[in-house]
Structure 1
Amino acid sequence: MNEAGVLFRPTEDFIYAISRTELDLVIQTASEDVSEIFLEYGKREEEDLHNMSVVKMWKEYSDGIHDQFRSRICLTPIVAYLRYRFCIKGADGSVNWYGSEGFCSSGSATAREFFEFQWPNPADYRAIDPEKQKMIYYQIFPDRFFRGKGSYAEHSLEPWGSIPNRLNYMGGTLEGIAAKLPYLSDLGINCIYLNPIFAARSNHKYDTQDYYKIDPGFGSEDDFRKLVDQAHERKIKVILDGVFNHSGIDWNPFQDVIKKGEDSAYFDWFFINKYPIDIDTSNYDCVGFYPWMPKINLANRQAQDYFISVGKYWIEEFGIDGWRLDVADEVPTRFWERFAFEMRSVKPEVILLGETWIDAFRLISGNRLSSAMNYLFRDAVIAWLAENRIDAKGFDRRLNHLSMLYPFEILTQMYNLIDSHDTARFLFTVKGDVRKLKVAVAIQMTFVGCPAVYYGDELGMSGDNDPLCRGCMVWDSEEQNQDLLDWYKRLISFRRQHDILAKGRFKSAFASENVIGFYRFYQDEYSLIMINGGETSSKIPMELGEWKEQLYMTAEEEREQDYLDREVLRAYSLRVFTKI
């Protein structure tokens, strides 16, 4: 057995309390190197170390490099002061015990060789939030969505549908978004994520001038209040983009530093490398080295207080449901800990969604943020469907790897996107192949986590990277891809009707050629999802005797025989079965 492949630490990424009486543990090994793992555990006060409870751990995920095994301990009245260790049986027939002092080949042990779990603190519970699991997000870039009846433009506007660039304005408003709530409700989404709406110079508004003011180009506070209220009437949540990592150069605190230097009360709110400040040479730290967006020092207590007040204000005064937090991985984690605590004090169910393009564990650990943008999911989908860098087996391994990164309770809340305002649209990435977009959406709607739709994708909008991915929403029905819209509606409806797709765990079933199959399971319910991402039909490599078909969708022309032939999965198609 490869002992170096065994990975476990008594930290929250490997052991965590679900409740006062439930404790989850995971351990990783080298792929295909271990046949079985047994968890031995008992109360700390137990003197007989040979009289431990024993439970077999189940093999949960395998990404081709590591296998992950899981177990849950349930004890009443409380799961506390436990000793535990692992009995690992290698594929080569070897048996080893693994504890706090490493490996030993004998079952005899001293108390020091056991790991110990002390106490399940309620503040650390990885409890599931059923509402957050059910989110289907819809991202809107406000200037490009819909103008509405009024016009609040401070800038000259381009004709609707003009080619977007970094400087032009199209005139979308909050009133316009509210006017299209019936469309969004009919689509089936239940949470709107708005790109920044606060006063700023640019069309994207990531260079904030005033965190307490709606940009006049978008409308008024009354317009925003109506939007939130009307969305809530339709059971649609609204979250705002919180750009707290940096501001615009016009923000009053930064202007005060420009004028007063070290005498400014805000001098330590920024990272000033030299004074006087020179915008042209940007002798201060900026996000992405953009001089018009100076970074904010959120280790500073007064700066923290300010943005916590901002966060609470929009929740308490307007009833927003949470925040998407820009560039969250560049912000000190101790600020997110405090911010999360303060936001939950005014709205316990608040959505706190962090932006990161990498592993998000640092953001969501310690009950900091509730979720993160899952760009790693997007990377995997693109690697398979757009770039052909991996085949179905490689994609299956990537899904397993993603599932190993986070506790399941967090995994079900991850924001699973395939594109955004910061990337080329997916349809552009696949060179206009709508069939591949349909397959990507099928994966989004059936995998663990919350699907996220970037405005207009459902109508066939395309565009290269920023700024071309930020085009005007297509409202002319003649220019909309109605077949694609129906595909989205049907899958969103199916997901919302089947809680197992929001709550169920994931386990691979098979991967061959261009076909993947995986299970979702919750309590006594089981679903089997099969997806063909290739151009040719493929024989299903398993028996379906105990499975009943629930859904069949194909991006190709449908044929009656497809519904009768249970052994074949057509090109670019999806089949969902439930266990009888």
Structure 2
Amino acid sequence: MRRGASLGLCAALAAAPVAAAQTAAPAWTHGAVCYEVFVRSFYDSDGDGIGDLSGLIRKLDYINGLGASCIWLMPVAQSPSYHGYDVSDYYRVEPAYGTNDDFKRLVAQAHRRGIKVLVDMVLNHSSSEHPYFQAALRDTTSAYRTWYRFSRTPLGKGPWGGEAWHRSPVRDEYYYGVFWSGMPDLNYQTPAVRKEANKIATFWLREMGVDGFRLDAVPYVVEEGACLAGCPGTHAFLREYAAHLRSVKPDAYTVGEVWANIDAMLPYYPDQLTAYFAFELSDSLLSAVRTGSAAGLLTGFLRLEDTLPAYRWSPFLTNHDQTRTLTALGGDVARARIAATLLLTLPGLPFIYYGEEIGMTGDKPDERLRTPMQWSPRSGGFTTGKPWEAPQADSLTTNVAVEDRDPNSLLHLYRHLIHLRKQNEALATGELVPLSTTSPQVAAYLRRTNRRAVLVVANLGGSAVSGVAIASAERALPPRAYTPRNLLGGPDGAKLHVGADGRLREYVPVAAIGPRESLVLELRE
């Protein structure tokens, strides 16, 4: 869900020293990439125009072929809205998607393919149609009255300065809903609400078999007086919640949405959720590709790598709340290719939004960011009926079927890079080492382990460059001669000689690099 830019309101009150967890990374996260799916828009199995769980099961082989190690499903619980972020029954799958048994079948089929399943857990608020809210709204003596926040008068603005207190349709009073009137915030200062959140999590982990959760709207869970975002109570709740998840399923994986910069994200470590989306990294990646300048590209990555294990933070390009990548890059597929190459060769646990791998387009309003997956030219191949939302205009030419047949397509590049990330130790787990270049439009870095090293060189600019030299600080590589092998195909790089101090000095890997061209070179001894 779309968030305001500033979450620093109460961060100073909640900040704690951040220390990297010393526990080993879960095995499945080794070189992993996760894939975000909007079930409603992925594949319709019964012709009603709405994607469903049976349709997703049919397309698991596609996701597996892409190389994804996990899928994040946008909300699948029952909801009156198309997007599902206002849940009316946390224990029942949205009927348009199927049944609880269909969901269990999906999990079983995903696990057979080695794919983990994360579901969107919306804890901050329920639907205004949820029976608990309806009871609280209509009966001031209801046991659920304290599950929500009511007031005779509005108690100020929301965290972004907008209206957050909504007039009750029943009596002369107001209730708090930070996003809109259809999403009343739950009151986590009520013990029964915290207990219910734990019960819901237990249900999805044990009964439904999921491997973890993506937590929506994390900073807004607890309000404390004037503090409306990132409050101490939110951090306390998240510690309690995470401990409960571990007691139910010790290896449960959670990734939270804190739509802010790294400074605002760090107070949510080290002992709350497993990971958080790194929005600052998304901004720096897309900015570098848009502007053609390498300045600042690696700053956030290096900071997070110095602070936390790579499986505990997740870079991405865009998600379901943002203008799609190709649209944000002006429709330039070459830019989309270099953005994908950067994302999938830099550290962290990256997430990919469905359709990004084929270059789907989309801009606001939100429905147009979440249009049906484009499988083939005919109606996008999504449904035999009328789709719930019209496909994008380019679905006849931009689709899986067309790109499957083109070895130079964006889809083939994504597949290659995702599999490469899994298979190559340096790309899977290697340390990020920044390098300097003699051109401001060329980014260069190493990913290295004790045994393997990969050199990435990316010309972000719209013009070719010649004779670009690369240099490093001391101890970048062990001293020896290296033979670069191009992992993306094409010519290999020139021999690299590293002296006793471990520095790269004026190394020119290739005579020229084309506009928006990338080199991914494995350095062999």
Please give the TM-score of this superposition, normalised by the length of structure 1.
0.70
Aligned to 2:93: 214
User: Distance between the aligned counterparts of 1:547 and 1:137, measured in 2?
Assistant: 33
Structure 1 spans left out of the alignment, 5+ residues: 1-10, 19-124, 152-156, 158-169
Aligned to 2:71: 192
Aligned to 2:468: 540
In the alignment, which of 350, 353, 377 is matched to residue 281 of structure 2? 377
Q: In structure 2, do the counterparts of structure 1 residues 432 and 441 end up closer, same or farther at CA, with 3 Å as the change threshold?
A: same
In the alignment, which of 468, 471, 480 is matched to residue 371 of structure 2? 471
Aligned to 1:456: 355
User: Distance between the aligned counterparts of 1:277 and 1:317, measured in 2?
Assistant: 38
In the alignment, which of 285, 297, 302 is matched to residue 403 of structure 1? 302
1:351-402 Cα offsets, whole Å, 9 max, x none, are 110011113545641321111112111111222222x2x721232xxx2234
In the TM superposition, residue 12 of structure 1 has moved relative to its aligned partner by: 6.5
User: Distance between the aligned counterparts of 1:279 and 1:394, measured in 2?
Assistant: 50
8 Å contact from structure 1 (residues 254, 266) kept in 2: yes
2:315 is the counterpart of 1:416:
yes
In the TM superposition, residue 469 of structure 1 has moved relative to its aligned partner by: 0.8
The amino acid across from 2:203 in the alignment is Y
1:247-280 Cα offsets, whole Å, 9 max, x none, are 100111111111112x121222212123896159
8 Å contact from structure 1 (residues 501, 520) kept in 2: yes
State the Cα RMSD in Å.
2.6
Q: For structure 1, which segment, 211-220 or 351-360, has the greater mean C-alpha deviation from structure 2 after superposition? A: 351-360
In the TM superposition, residue 524 of structure 1 has moved relative to its aligned partner by: 3.6
User: Distance between the aligned counterparts of 1:127 and 1:12, measured in 2?
Assistant: 22
In the TM superposition, residue 282 of structure 1 has moved relative to its aligned partner by: 8.5
Aligned to 2:522: 578
The amino acid across from 1:385 in the alignment is V
Q: For structure 1, which segment, 173-182 or 499-508, has the greater mean C-alpha deviation from structure 2 after superposition? A: 499-508
User: Distance between the aligned counterparts of 1:531 and 1:342, measured in 2?
Assistant: 44
User: Distance between the aligned counterparts of 1:361 and 1:203, measured in 2?
Assistant: 29
In the TM superposition, residue 222 of structure 1 has moved relative to its aligned partner by: 1.2
User: Distance between the aligned counterparts of 1:403 and 1:187, measured in 2?
Assistant: 28
8 Å contact from structure 1 (residues 374, 416) kept in 2: yes
User: Distance between the aligned counterparts of 2:129 and 2:304, measured in 1?
Assistant: 40
Aligned to 1:434: 333
8 Å contact from structure 1 (residues 257, 267) kept in 2: yes
Q: For structure 1, which segment, 562-571 or 373-382, has the greater mean C-alpha deviation from structure 2 after superposition? A: 562-571
8 Å contact from structure 2 (residues 483, 493) kept in 1: no
Please state whether the residue corresponding to 1:450 is helix, strand or coil: coil
Please state whether the residue corresponding to 2:455 is helix, strand or coil: strand
The amino acid across from 1:571 in the alignment is P
1:437-483 Cα offsets, whole Å, 9 max, x none, are 11111011110112211111112210103121111110116632511
The amino acid across from 2:458 in the alignment is I
The amino acid across from 1:452 in the alignment is F
The amino acid across from 2:182 in the alignment is W
1:298-350 Cα offsets, whole Å, 9 max, x none, are 23211011011101111101211100000012121111111111111121111
Aligned to 1:506: 432
In the alignment, which of 25, 28, 41 is matched to residue 144 of structure 1? 41
2:158 is the counterpart of 1:258:
no
Please state whether the residue corresponding to 2:174 is helix, strand or coil: coil
User: Distance between the aligned counterparts of 1:487 and 1:286, measured in 2?
Assistant: 43
Q: In structure 2, do the counterparts of structure 1 residues 546 and 570 end up closer, same or farther at CA, with 3 Å as the change threshold?
A: farther
Q: For structure 1, which segment, 246-255 or 376-385, has the greater mean C-alpha deviation from structure 2 after superposition? A: 376-385
Please state whether the residue corresponding to 1:394 is helix, strand or coil: coil
Q: In structure 2, do the counterparts of structure 1 residues 421 and 17 end up closer, same or farther at CA, with 3 Å as the change threshold?
A: closer
In the alignment, which of 246, 249, 256 is matched to residue 344 of structure 1? 246
The amino acid across from 1:368 in the alignment is Q
The amino acid across from 1:522 in the alignment is T
Q: In structure 2, do the counterparts of structure 1 residues 325 and 194 end up closer, same or farther at CA, with 3 Å as the change threshold?
A: same
Please state whether the residue corresponding to 1:506 is helix, strand or coil: strand
User: Distance between the aligned counterparts of 2:415 and 2:135, measured in 1?
Assistant: 50
Match runs of 1:14-413 below 5 Å? 16=19, 125=22, 127-148=24-45, 150=46, 170-261=49-140, 263-274=141-152, 278-279=168-169, 283-288=174-179, 290-331=180-221, 332-358=234-260, 359=262, 361-362=265-266, 364-386=268-290, 388=291, 391-395=293-297, 399-405=298-304, 408-413=307-312
Percent identity between matched residues is 28
8 Å contact from structure 1 (residues 361, 406) kept in 2: no
Please state whether the residue corresponding to 1:392 is helix, strand or coil: coil
Aligned to 2:383: none
8 Å contact from structure 2 (residues 127, 184) kept in 1: yes
The amino acid across from 2:313 in the alignment is M
Please give the TM-score of this superposition, normalised by the length of structure 2.
0.77
In the TM superposition, residue 542 of structure 1 has moved relative to its aligned partner by: 2.7
8 Å contact from structure 2 (residues 255, 277) kept in 1: yes
Q: In structure 2, do the counterparts of structure 1 residues 561 and 172 end up closer, same or farther at CA, with 3 Å as the change threshold?
A: same
Please state whether the residue corresponding to 2:139 is helix, strand or coil: helix
In the alignment, which of 478, 484, 501 is matched to residue 549 of structure 1? 484
Please state whether the residue corresponding to 2:246 is helix, strand or coil: helix
In the TM superposition, residue 132 of structure 1 has moved relative to its aligned partner by: 2.8
Q: In structure 2, do the counterparts of structure 1 residues 279 and 546 end up closer, same or farther at CA, with 3 Å as the change threshold?
A: farther
Q: In structure 2, do the counterparts of structure 1 residues 17 and 136 end up closer, same or farther at CA, with 3 Å as the change threshold?
A: closer
In the TM superposition, residue 136 of structure 1 has moved relative to its aligned partner by: 0.8
8 Å contact from structure 1 (residues 144, 172) kept in 2: yes
The amino acid across from 1:382 in the alignment is L
Please state whether the residue corresponding to 1:467 is helix, strand or coil: helix
The amino acid across from 1:323 in the alignment is F
Q: In structure 2, do the counterparts of structure 1 residues 268 and 363 end up closer, same or farther at CA, with 3 Å as the change threshold?
A: farther
Structure whose CA Rg is larger: 1
Q: In structure 2, do the counterparts of structure 1 residues 547 and 563 end up closer, same or farther at CA, with 3 Å as the change threshold?
A: closer
Aligned to 1:96: none
Q: In structure 2, do the counterparts of structure 1 residues 243 and 17 end up closer, same or farther at CA, with 3 Å as the change threshold?
A: closer
8 Å contact from structure 1 (residues 506, 518) kept in 2: yes
